[in-house]
Amino acid sequence: MRDIKLSTLVRKSIERAVQILFRPFDFKKWCALLLIVILSGGLGGGNSLNTLFPNRDLAEQIPLERFTAATEETSETDVTEETAAPADENQPAPETPENPETATDTEEQTESTEPPAVNPLLFILALILGLALSILFVWLSARFRFIWFNAVVQSSGAIREPFRRFQKEGNAVFKFLLIVVAGMLLYALLVLGLLFLAGQAFGVFKEGFSWSFGAGLVFALIALVFAVVPAAAISIFFVAFEDFIVPIMAVESCGFRPAWKSFSEIYGQNKKDFWIYLLAKIGLGIVTALLQLMLFVGWALIAMVAGAILFGIPYYLFSALFKLDALFWISAVILGIPYLAVFLLLLFFINLPFAAFFRSFSLYYLTSLKTKYTPLPLA
């Protein structure tokens, strides 16, 4: 049972993050830690911001097609009326092309306005390449989870030595993640199939369909039962996986099953503390998300002022004063490349202290449960 206050764990985690990053400050260590955090998937620091953009293509396409169809019908009617009108005797007959093959080729070129079909071989190759890259990144993230654990525990930016040391544990996590990803894809296909069958039963795909309260309620229940609830359960499981099972694997040098067994015993003895940890992490995630947003806005304003000075002065000298636009564009490219690199690097650096804080907080919390695992001593 935990007898240490959450405020103490938060304070210790902040001190640990400061110690890792600023005592002493080492730019190479920051770059190494940033690479480790990105490849481990912990750059968000426990937060994830997703933006959903509505898809309006279908809604915009239907009226356009109806308007196009109506226009074509009108034009065909006009052409029919013109051809049906009596011809004037004094009006000369329309000229006909001497070579009918030339006329046929011209008509074919006019009609062939459809975009070229996608080569299925290129599509398959792109799919295979994307799948291979996805598997590679999953493998790297599995290994770098333990390198990030080592970086926080040892306050080190080492990569090569822990990469070799945690080979067995990383491969075990990699196999587990592959099974999880495959299961989630199959489950997503099952849910989509269920929604499709429900749509067919209610006639969603038929013309003139209008939503009713019953149909909307059925689809909402399907989404809630088969999508929202499983997503919440998976999120809770991955909190336990990232914050407890991975550290247990790293400390014990064991595979996933023994670590899961050890975590189950810890959870059985500390159920209340586990859910308190989950709620505390949600609250801390909201607070840190607001802090990150403030830092992002502040850094964006600083970058805008610096960009105005950096590019405004050459523009005034070369383009406005001496009318030498070519020199301005050359200087803009020379200055713009390092400016963009520094902007993106510092933008990623903003997330690094939050990631170190959350990793330290999870390890301190595991130590506070009075188990045999003390990845970060509290004394």
Q: 104-122, pLDDT tens digit by residue? A: 454 455 444 555 566 788 8
Answer whether 9's CB lies under 8 Å from 345's CB. no
Examine the pLDDT at 327 and tell me if it is beyond 50. yes
Q: What local confidence, expressed as pLDDT, does residue 274 receive?
A: 93
Q: What local confidence, expressed as pLDDT, does residue 99 receive?
A: 52
Q: What is the mean pLDDT of the chain?
A: 81
Q: What local confidence, expressed as pLDDT, does residue 330 receive?
A: 87
Examine the pLDDT at 276 and tell me if it is beyond 60. yes
Residue range 315-319: average pLDDT? 78
Examine the pLDDT at 103 and tell me if it is beyond 70. no
Q: How confident is the model at residue 332 (pLDDT cuts 50, 70, 90)?
A: confident
Q: What local confidence, expressed as pLDDT, does residue 83 receive?
A: 43
Q: What local confidence, expressed as pLDDT, does residue 321 receive?
A: 74
Answer whether 20's CB lies under 8 Å from 152's CB. yes
Residue range 265-272: average pLDDT? 92
Q: What local confidence, expressed as pLDDT, does residue 222 receive?
A: 80
Prediction pTM value? 0.73
Distance separating alpha carbons of residues 350 and 348, to the nearest angstrom:
5
Q: How confident is the model at residue 77 (pLDDT cuts 50, 70, 90)?
A: very low
Q: What local confidence, expressed as pLDDT, does residue 1 receive?
A: 66
**Domain positions in the chain:** 6-46+133-368
Examine the pLDDT at 98 and tell me if it is beyond 70. no
Q: Where is pLDDT greater, at 140 or 54?
A: 140
Residue range 112-136: average pLDDT? 79
Examine the pLDDT at 227 and tell me if it is beyond 60. yes
> 359 vs 176, 191, 308, 367, CA distance in Å?
21, 34, 38, 13
Q: What local confidence, expressed as pLDDT, does residue 133 receive?
A: 92
Question: For 67-76, 231-240, 279-288, 313-322, which range has the lowest pLDDT when averaged over its residues?
Answer: 67-76
> 92 vs 87, 95, 103, 305, CA distance in Å?
10, 9, 21, 72
Examine the pLDDT at 275 and tell me if it is beyond 90. yes
CA 273 to chain centre: 31
Question: For 121-130, 198-207, 242-251, 344-353, which range has the lowest pLDDT when averaged over its residues?
Answer: 198-207
Examine the pLDDT at 28 and tell me if it is beyond 80. yes
Distance separating alpha carbons of residues 153 and 215, to the nearest angstrom:
54
Question: For 108-112, 281-285, 294-298, 364-368, which range has the lowest pLDDT when averaged over its residues?
Answer: 108-112
Q: What local confidence, expressed as pLDDT, does residue 52 receive?
A: 35
Answer whether 259's CB lies under 8 Å from 227's CB. no
Most confident of 118-122, 171-175, 230-234: 171-175
Examine the pLDDT at 55 and tell me if it is beyond 50. no
Most confident of 40-44, 56-60, 208-212, 319-323: 40-44
Examine the pLDDT at 101 and tell me if it is beyond 70. no
Distance separating alpha carbons of residues 131 and 141, to the nearest angstrom:
15
Answer whether 143's CB lies under 8 Å from 28's CB. no
Distance separating alpha carbons of residues 170 and 61, to the nearest angstrom:
48
Q: What local confidence, expressed as pLDDT, does residue 67 receive?
A: 36
Examine the pLDDT at 78 and tell me if it is beyond 90. no
Structure tokens at 257: 């099953």
